[in-house]
Every structure is written in C-alpha cells, then in structure tokens.
Amino acid sequence: MSNYQHWLITEDNHIATLTLNRPEVMNRLAAQTLFELRDITAHLRTRKDIWGVIIQGQGDNFSVGIDVNLLKDMIAQDQSEYRATWRDLQGCFEEFEALEKPTIARLHGYCLGAGLMLALCCDFRVASQATTFGFPAVKLSVGVIVGTQRITRIAGVAATKEILYLGKNFDAQAAKNYGLLHNVVSGEELDATVTQLVDRIRQLPPRAIGISKRIIDRGYAMSLRGSQTLELDAQAELLHSPDFQEAIAGFFEKRSPQFTGE
C-alpha cells in the first residue's frame, strides 16, 4: 500500500489498521486526509486478503473534527463552489462507509464533529471511558454537512436534535446511551476489547460479512420486497464460492470450517 502523509497503514493476519496521523493538530480532518482515506478505501476494496479494518487516531485523541482551514475557506466560496467541494468530501465518508468489510472505530480522547461522523461510518465503535464526544458545529453557525442522517438513524430524531442543537460535549456513557457506541471500557481494556472483536471477525467468512453489510446498508432504505430481492441477488454471488461450500461441508461434517476469503 502506498505511503500517505496523513495516515499510517499496518496489516496483520487479515486485518488492516488505519491510523490517523496528525497528532500535532489533534487529528483534524483536512481535505487531504479525506482524499487519502478515499484512496485507501479503493485499495482495500480490491484486497481479498484483508477481512477487517480498524480505524484509530495517533496520540491522545481520535479526532477533533474538520480542519478549521476548511471552514475558513467556506467564507470565500460561492454557492456552486461550496456545493462541489463539500459534495466531494461527503463522498469520501460514503465510500469508506460502503466498504464491504467489517470496520471498527477504536476511540479515545476527543472524538468530535466530523471525527465522530467518521466513527459513525464504521460498523463497530469501541471507546475508552475517558473519551469525549460532541458536535460543536452549531456554535460556528454551521450545520452538520457530512451526514446528519447517520446520527438520526442510530440515535433517533429526539436525541439527534439534543446533540446537534445544543452542541454540548458528552461522555462515553452518554454516547452509549444514545446508541452511538457498542462498547465502553477502561483505557487499559480498550486494545484487548478491539482484539477480541477482531478475533471473532477472523473466524467468519469475509465475503458473507461483506454481503450482509451490503444487504443491511442498502436494504435499510428499500421496501421489504426490494430488500428481499437484494438478499437473493447478493447470496447468488456466493452460491458457488469456495467459502460457502466449505461452510456447508463443515456443518454436515460437524467441524469448524476453514475460510480463505474466496
């Protein structure tokens, strides 16, 4: 994988770890950060040997959100330029979110604004108890412009209004109560908890997980009949795959299947 200025990439036993590497600015998300993430996502999409992805922040924080220079640039843009710029940046989040591999956000320190939105693009979110969350954009007279509905679909309308209107920070337990987190653990337990989740992912057929993710994410906005057709079409892709055949063989032979990602 290519070298990136804003990301560190490591791979270990079918798992890629993406580390946001801008600790000097509390891992703020610049345009380059997001465009690099889009490039990384495109590469991971082609990697059958990568079965899961962890995303985390270097240093003391996950991310405090959008780089302030991006907000400053908004003032000088006309509406057409503004729309084109931010639609491009929105696409970076969307492409990472649609990656057909299980993704885990490992959260600590500050996780604010677009940083939290990036975490919400992941399938699983695990945070230390000391993590601080929030969407402070309203204080700058900015609406959330990188996916408000991600919050609404997870937390519900009432909670989203509370989170966004007031712009107040909240702790990890409140984030879990909103439904934004799957696990809240002590700082000492954070790595072990993520590792346990990753170990479970390694035991599962990766293509089937990817197909399930597609069915869930795309089917959410479909009619029941449309989502059922999506299920049939998706499973048809796996029908003659080696992992599907291995899973069926393992079931009838009463043994643990050995998956290859094919």
Residues 34 and 123 grouped into a single domain: yes
Residues 38 and 138 grouped into a single domain: yes
- Three-state helix/strand/coil letters over the chain: CCCCCCEEEEEECCEEEEEECCHHHCCCECHHHHHHHHHHHHHHHCCCCCCEEEEEECCCCCECCECHHHHHHHHHCCHHHHHHHHHHHHHHHHHHHCCCCCEEEEECCEEEHHHHHHHHCCCEEEEECCCEEECHHHHHCCCCCCCHHHHHHHHCHHHHHHHHHHCCCEEHHHHHHHCCCCEEECHHHHHHHHHHHHHHHHCCCHHHHHHHHHHHHHHCCCCHHHHHHHHHHHHHHHCCCHHHHHHHHHHHCCCCCCCCCC
In this prediction, residues 80-98 reach a mean pLDDT of: 92
pLDDT reported for residue 146 = 78
Residues 133 and 232 grouped into a single domain: no
pLDDT reported for residue 73 = 78
Q: Is residue 145 a part of any domain in this protein? A: yes
pLDDT reported for residue 82 = 82
Give residue 3's pLDDT band: very low, low, confident or very high (50, 70, 90).
confident
Residue 262 or residue 176, greater confidence? 176
Residues 132 and 144 grouped into a single domain: yes
Q: Is residue 257 a part of any domain in this protein? A: no
Residue 228 scores a pLDDT above 90: yes
Asked if residues 69 and 30 have their Cβ atoms less than 8 Å apart, the reply is: yes
Residue 78 scores a pLDDT above 90: no
pLDDT reported for residue 244 = 83
Strand pairing partners for 152?
Answer: none
Q: How many domains does the chain have?
A: 2
- pLDDT tens for 149-177 read 999 999 999 999 999 999 899 999 999 99
Q: What tokens appear for 111 in the block?
A: 């996780």
Mean pLDDT of the chain: 92
Residue 243 or residue 101, greater confidence? 101
Residues 40 and 130 grouped into a single domain: yes
Closest C-alpha among 200, 160, 167 to residue 183: 200
In this prediction, residues 32-44 reach a mean pLDDT of: 97
Give residue 257's pLDDT band: very low, low, confident or very high (50, 70, 90).
confident
Handedness of CA 44, 49, 51, 53 (dihedral sign): negative
Residue 168 is part of a domain; what is its CATH number?
3.90.226.10
In this prediction, residues 1-24 reach a mean pLDDT of: 94
Q: Is residue 95 a part of any domain in this protein? A: yes
Asked if residues 19 and 30 have their Cβ atoms less than 8 Å apart, the reply is: no
Residues 87 and 39 grouped into a single domain: yes
pLDDT reported for residue 262 = 78
Residues 131 and 212 grouped into a single domain: no
Residue 75 or residue 148, greater confidence? 148
Residue 248 scores a pLDDT above 90: no
Strand pairing partners for 209?
Answer: none
Strand pairing partners for 184?
Answer: 127
In this prediction, residues 7-21 reach a mean pLDDT of: 97
Residue 251 scores a pLDDT above 90: no
Question: How many Cα neighbours within 13 Å face the side chain of 22?
Answer: 21
pLDDT reported for residue 254 = 83
pLDDT reported for residue 256 = 84
Residues 180 and 197 grouped into a single domain: yes
Out of 48-52, 83-87, 193-197, pick the least confident. 83-87
Residue 13 scores a pLDDT above 80: yes
Give residue 1's pLDDT band: very low, low, confident or very high (50, 70, 90).
low
Residues 184 and 238 grouped into a single domain: no
pLDDT reported for residue 221 = 86
pLDDT reported for residue 96 = 98
Residues 248 and 156 grouped into a single domain: no
CA distances from 10 to 13, 27, 45, 54, 120 (A): 10, 18, 16, 10, 22
* Domain interval for residue 122: 7-202
Which of these three, 187, 202, 217, is where a domain ends? 202
pLDDT reported for residue 184 = 98
In this prediction, residues 22-34 reach a mean pLDDT of: 97
